[in-house]
């Protein structure tokens, strides 16, 4: 059985990845505050992932029937959009716990639980272009995604040094995806975020990616990590024909 742990299955990309993997026949455990998809192979754990103590208490259980195990660190927040002097300090602290501390802690716990098992394992961090390029009004968010990228690169280096070729880690930026996070961005003012009109136009023109097509690309990484050499990249680098050539057929 292929097992997936996905954070943030309540909406958006995380929910779409959960649905896609369930369609492919995986067993999925979702972690978020609101409920995930309803399916016989889906288990939901209700948890506030910005609560460090709750995250530290989470235990990855033994999976004796596993043929592949993956962790998708997807849950994230953009928080209060504002230039730094006006930013909400409490939300910035919560954002760092959710976007950085939690994936770092879960990655360590996942490796401790499963690294001795000789089955393919993938940790997929949902990164962002905002971790590579500065965006005004998104200071804490940009910094959190840059931190996630660097942690990914460090773990990738460690796995290669220790010869654990059966475990791969990636940070993959999805692009601009039509989710509640994008709706939140469009509600900001030009004073909070200078490019808000551009984001509204993209939405108006219907050029945002769907969570479902993003999930297809993430599924390819989870099923075929051997196709990807670099630990940090963007989903737009995955060609659509590559997705269709390699993607696992839907079982049910």
Ligand X SMILES: NC(=O)c1ccc[n+]([C@@H]2O[C@H](COP(=O)([O-])OP(=O)(O)OC[C@H]3O[C@@H](n4cnc5c(N)ncnc54)[C@H](OP(=O)(O)O)[C@@H]3O)[C@@H](O)[C@H]2O)c1
The verdict on 18 binding ligand X (CB under 6 A) reads no
In the list 55, 98, 123, 155, the residue contacting ligand X (rule: CB under 6 A) is 98
Q: Mind giving me the DSSP string for 51-83?
A: -HHHHHH--PPP-TT-SEEEEEE------S---
Q: Which of 175, 202, 200, 179 is nearest to 188 (CA)?
A: 200
Which is closer to ligand X, CB of 121 or CB of 128?
128
The verdict on 11 binding ligand X (CB under 6 A) reads yes
CA distance 140 to 99: 10
| Positions marked active-site | 141
Cβ neighbours for 18, distance < 8 A, ≥ 6 positions apart: 4, 6, 9, 28, 30, 36, 37, 42
Closest CB 56 distance from ligand X, rounded Å: 14
Among residue numbers 167 through 196, which ones bind ligand X (CB under 6 A)? 173-174, 176-177, 179-182
Which is closer to ligand X, CB of 74 or CB of 223?
74
The verdict on 77 binding ligand X (CB under 6 A) reads yes
Which is closer to ligand X, CB of 92 or CB of 182?
182
Which is closer to ligand X, CB of 139 or CB of 174?
174
Number of other residues whose CB lies within 10 A of the CB of residue 213: 15
Among residue numbers 121 through 140, which ones bind ligand X (CB under 6 A)? 126, 128
Among residue numbers 24 through 63, which ones bind ligand X (CB under 6 A)? 32-34, 48-50
For the chain, the straight-line distance linking the first and the last C-alpha, in angstroms and rounded, comes to: 15
Which is closer to ligand X, CB of 73 or CB of 192?
73
Q: Which of 57, 45, 49, 56 is nearest to 4 (CA)?
A: 45
Count of positions on this chain that bind ligand X (CB under 6 A): 28
Closest CB 167 distance from ligand X, rounded Å: 22
Q: Is 178 helix (H, G, I), strand (E, B) or coil?
A: coil
CA distance 9 to 206: 24
Closest CB 46 distance from ligand X, rounded Å: 9
Binding site for ligand X (CB under 6 A): 8-14, 32-34, 48-50, 74-77, 98, 126, 128, 173-174, 176-177, 179-182
């Amino acid at each position: 059985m292929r097992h997936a742990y996905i954070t943030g299955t309540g909406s958006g990309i995380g929910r779409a990845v959960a649905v896609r993997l369930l369609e492919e026949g995986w067993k999925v455990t979702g972690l978020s505050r609101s409920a995930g998809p309803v399916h016989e192979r889906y288990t939901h754990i209700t948890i506030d992932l910005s609560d460090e103590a709750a995250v530290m208490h989470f235990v990855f259980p033994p999976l004796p029937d596993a043929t592949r195990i993956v962790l998708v660190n997807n849950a994230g927040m953009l928080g209060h959009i504002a230039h730094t002097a006006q930013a909400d300090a409490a939300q910035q602290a919560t954002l760092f716990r959710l976007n950085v501390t939690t994936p770092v802690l879960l990655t360590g716990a996942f490796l401790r639980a499963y690294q001795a098992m000789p089955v393919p394992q993938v940790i997929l961090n949902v990164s962002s272009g905002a971790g590579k390029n500065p965006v005004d009004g998104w200071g804490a968010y940009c910094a959190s995604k840059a931190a996630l990228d660097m942690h990914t690169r460090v773990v990738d280096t460690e796995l290669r040094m220790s010869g654990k070729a059966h475990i791969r880690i990636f940070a993959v930026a999805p692009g601009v995806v039509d989710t509640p996070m994008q709706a939140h961005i469009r509600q900001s003012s030009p004073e909070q975020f200078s490019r808000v009109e551009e984001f509204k136009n993209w939405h108006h023109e219907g050029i945002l990616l769907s969570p479902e097509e993003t999930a297809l690309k993430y599924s390819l990484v989870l099923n075929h990590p051997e196709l990807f050499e670099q630990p940090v990249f963007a989903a737009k680098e995955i060609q659509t024909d590559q997705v269709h050539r390699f993607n696992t057929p839907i079982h049910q």
